[in-house]
Amino acid sequence: MHLPDLFLFSVDNLRRRKGRTMLTIIGVLVGVCAIVVMVSLGVAVNNSTDEMLKNWGDLTRIEVLSEGAQQDTPKLDETMVEQFRSIPGVRVATPVMEPQDVSATIVGGPNNRFEAPGQLIGLEPGAIGPLGYALLAGSSKLTGNPDANRIPVLVGAQAPFGFRDTQKSQNSPDAQKYPQYDDEYMNILNLPRYDEKGTLLNPEEFFFDILHTKLFYRVVVGRDEGSGEDVYKEYELVPVGMISGGANDFAINNGFVMNIENLRKLQADVRKAAGGSAGGGLERGSDGNGGGSIAVVSSRGGSGGGGASSSTGGGGSSSGRGSAGSYSRVLVKVEHVEAMDEVERSIKAEGYQIDSITETRRQMQGQVAQTQMMLGGLAAVSLFVAALNIMNTMTMAITERRREIGIMKVLGCELKNIRRMFLIEAGAIGLIGGVAGVLVSVLLSLLLNNLPALLALLGLGAGGVDVGSFFGLGGLGQTGTAAAISVIQAWLIAFALLFAAAVGLFSGILPARKAVRISSLEAIRHE
Amino acid sequence: MHHIIHTRKLKKHYLVGRERVAALAGVDLEIARGEVCCIIGQSGSGKSTLLNMLAGLEPPSAGHVAIAGRKISAMDEDQLALFRQENLGFIFQSYNLLPQLTATENVALPLSFAGIGKTQRLEIARRELARVGMGKRLDHLPREMSGGQQQRVGIARAFVARPKVVFADEPTGNLDTATTRQVLRHMLDCSEGHAITLVMVTHEPELARCGDRIITLSDGKVAENIVQDEKTRDRNRRLLFGETDD
């Protein structure tokens, strides 16, 4: 018997019992709909978290923190950084030095009139490219330090907005240039733009062209006993290029990145200038001994003394810090997202706390998955009930058609064809229910995604909801739309249809077996 | 003449409560190819049981049935289904047309089981229906036809695949006398036209006398096994159908 004939026969039989078939199909519809909508909600949540996290920064970057480490964890020092580099999948690892100067600023412009609370960041120059920071202008070459007082730096793209005009009142709106944000993702629209020759294309947005202006790192090294004023020391910063750390790397975007070696030398110099005696007692905010109230070096222990990382160049006194030569933060860049788990596990195994977007994502996805599992379980129950329903319908159909089945057997219908007939019938109920379920789900999804708009349309008032952002966000096939509540992708539709058909077929197995067992004598039994 | 149907010591008993009731108590039969064989007997004589076993609808308790050299009493359900599809036709007392199918579709059913394409099998079915005088009722559903018409569709269905043997179980049991004659006529024509062996169970002796062989069953045994010569048979037929010698 040919398959099309079997199909026709099965569909014919379904049509004969329209009412019952419809009810059974509705059962499947509800089950499929429940599952599809549940999954679509989960997909939408995951999509929007992903979108959000993508906005936060690089998925393959891990921040290793010395804070919060366990007691017996080894120091986060050069040896450990070296060890991180040897973990398979790690592309690059660099310590991060960030002096937390309370009394240092970066100044520039005519008469150094503009001032920013700029943050110096020391990185290994070889790591800047691999870390994925985008070079927006100039070069990223930070090596070499021809003159101890002229240090090459990479300027963060948002750093220009940090400058304040010291000749204007602090409260004046003209004292600062402000970034403009777009609505959706808070991207800054007026970042500096340079052409290939290095010319600033939007100078009107800034006080000065930061890449072509002398900048100085001005740090307090003491206080004049007589006048009571601070004594500064200035170091010239030579901007060689501009980088962006991605949307959410605040430190890089607003900071001044230099070779970690240069930062060490600079700090040593500052300490020397501040007077050797004070240089030892590097405690943040200490204003104890005399005028040497110098809070030059960060509380984060990243000072590393004078020269090489392992040395305690500051003299014996600096050995008082337990964290000599250790870093507060190390950045690790991993080759692929797939390698993240393994690398993170290796680093955690050493006892360190880590911070990565992947870690955050995992936690968020974990929560979503949990909720989804629960709701999915409920949906599965309803589909299970639908399956029982199909079984019941088929069993009834077969009981009613005993005689017919007997006749077909007498007329030479092979058992496999009888089995197929009923399997197709059950499968068709599943598939039709699946199609209907998917259609209803898509409608529901559209409804959910446009709910505020619809409410507004009905005059029910979607108080304060940004209706505009909900428009044009049909759930079907749309991804990456932050506002979509429910996202039904092609794979979900395909899966739902296949699954519904499979459930139908599966529910048909027992009834079909029953049909096959019916005796051909049923045909000649007289009523 | 070759024997197309063969039985040896065919026995069937049923359990009624705890008692064993013999429906067939050892039947030995040979039916020749192309014969019209009528099985006659009182109700309870075992004639329907015999037919069921000959057609492979019921397994015998003991003994053998062979059709066209194949021992059907030893076949499993799958083999039997295929064997019936290729070799047997069946006419039921209550017609047993599938209610949702038209006359043509009902007749085409055995062909569809055999895997014949739709266009072709419907064409064959239409021709077969025309042969039994149902050419004007092709697209009628069973409920739109009289008993005699339904049985003619049943006959077309039994013969359409050109089987080796057609079994008929009281085919005229539900029909009035005039219709009975008409239906019987069609059966005999189909059987003779294609040299198909016809085995018919009936309780009406005058119908049985139209056959080449008349087997009388009594208490599950063959009481009489008469082969009529053609002359006698044809005279009986003319008598039944009310035709005159000429």
Interval B182-205: pLDDT, tens: 999 999 999 999 999 999 999 889
Closest CA to A191 of A143, A233, A136, A238: A136
- Nearest CB to A412 within list B81, B93, B169: B81
pLDDT of residue A310: 34
Q: CA of A414: which chain B residue's CA is closest?
A: B81
Q: How far A408 CA lies from chain B's nearest CA (Å)?
A: 8
The pLDDT-based confidence of B126 (bands split at 50, 70, 90) is: very high
User: Going along A128-281, which residue ranges are E strands?
Assistant: 134-138, 150-156, 164-165, 215-223, 230-244, 255-259
What whole-number distance in Å separates Cα of residue A209 and Cα of residue A195? 13
User: Which pLDDT tens digit goes with each residue over A310-355?
Assistant: 333 333 333 223 344 677 788 888 888 778 878 888 888 777 877 7
pLDDT at B97: 94
pLDDT at A174: 81
pLDDT value, residue A22: 94
Is B95 domain-assigned? Answer: yes
pLDDT at A185: 58
B48, A5: Cβ pair inside 8 Å?
A: no
- Between A249 and B140, the more confident residue is B140
Q: Using CB atoms, which residue from B81, B88, B94 is nearest to A414? A: B81
d(CA A352, CA A74): 9
What DSSP line would sit under A327-367, residue for residue? -SEEEEEES-GGGHHHHHHHHHHTT-EEEEHHHHHHHHHHH
Q: Which residue of B has its CA nearest to A12?
A: B100
**Between chains, do A524 and B117 touch, taking CB under 8 Å as contact?**
no
Partners of residue A407 in chain B, C-beta under 8 Å: 92, 96, 98
Distance CA A120, CA A137 (A): 19
Check residue A159 and report its DSSP letter.
G
- Cα–Cα distances (Å) from A331 to A62, A80, A81, A259, in that order, read 6, 12, 9, 15
- What pLDDT does A441 receive? 94
CA A22: distance to chain centroid?
A: 45
User: What burial class does residue A411 get, using C-beta atoms within 10 Å of its C-beta: 0-12 exposed, 13-18 middle, 19+ buried?
Assistant: buried
Residue B138 lies in a domain: yes
Chain A hits for B94, Cβ within 8 Å = 526-527
Alpha-helical (H) ranges within A355-401 are 357-400
CB of A484 within 8 A of CB of A474?
no
pTM of this structure: 0.66
Nearest by CB to residue B90, choosing from A4, A410, A414, is A410
Å from A370 to nearest chain B CA? 50
Whether B174 has its CB under 8 Å from any CB of chain A: the answer is no
Whole-angstrom Cα distance, residue A280 to residue A61? 35
- Cα gap B39→B48, rounded to integer Å: 9
Measure CB to CB from residue A16 to each of B81, B96, B100 and give the nearest one.
B100
Q: Is residue B177 part of a domain?
A: yes
B80 lies in some domain: yes
Q: What is the dihedral of CA A37, A43, A49, A52, to 10 degrees?
A: -100
Average pLDDT over residues B241-245: 68
Sheet strand arrangement including B88-91: B88-91, B165-169, B197-202, B36-41, B213-218, B221-227
Residue ranges, chain A, pLDDT below 70? 54-57, 68-71, 100-102, 143-148, 183-186, 247-248, 276-325, 460-483, 526-527
pLDDT of residue A356: 75
Q: Which residues contact A141 (CB under 8 A, 6 or more apart)?
A: A125, A152, A240, A241
Asked if residue B246 belongs to a domain, the reply is: no
Closest partner CB to A414 (pick from B78, B90, B117)? B78
- Say how far apart CA B38 and CA B226 lie, in whole Å: 10
A498 contacts: CB under 8 Å, gap ≥ 6: none
pLDDT for the residue numbered A324: 47
In this structure, what CATH number is given to the domain that contains residue B34?
3.40.50.300
Pairs across A and B, CB distance < 8 A: 75
Cβ contact (<8 Å) for A407 and B98? yes
B190 part of a folded domain: yes
Residue of A nearest to B80 (CA): A412
User: Which of chain B's residues have a Cβ under 8 Å away from the Cβ of A413?
Assistant: 81, 85, 113
Chain A residues in contact with B82 by the CB 8 A cut-off are: 412, 414
Task: Report yes or no on B74 lying in a domain.
Answer: yes
Inter-chain CB proximity B48 and A412 less than 8 Å = no
HEC profile of A25-65: HHHHHHHHHHHHHHHHHHHHHHHHHHHHHHHHCCCCEEEEE
What SS3 class is residue B109? helix
Contacts of B112 in chain A (CB under 8 A): 1-2, 5
**Domain coverage including residue B124:** 3-241
Closest CA to A123 of A148, A98, A105, A145: A98
B109 touching chain A per CB within 8 A? yes
Query: Is there a contact between B84 and A13 if contact means CB atoms under 8 Å apart?
Result: no
Task: Look at residue A183 in the predicted model and tell me its pLDDT.
Answer: 64
A415 contacts B77? CB cut-off 8 A: yes
Cβ-in-10-Å burial (0-12, 13-18, 19+) of A151 comes to buried
Burial B186-212 (b: 16+ CB within 10 A, else e): bbbebbeeeebbbbbbbebeebbbbbb
pLDDT in tens, B162-174: 999 999 999 998 8
Quote the number of domains for chain B.
1
Average pLDDT of chain B? 91
Structure tokens at B238: 């003319």
CB of B45 less than 8 A from some CB of A: no
Sign for the CA dihedral angle at B35, B36, B42, B45 comes to positive
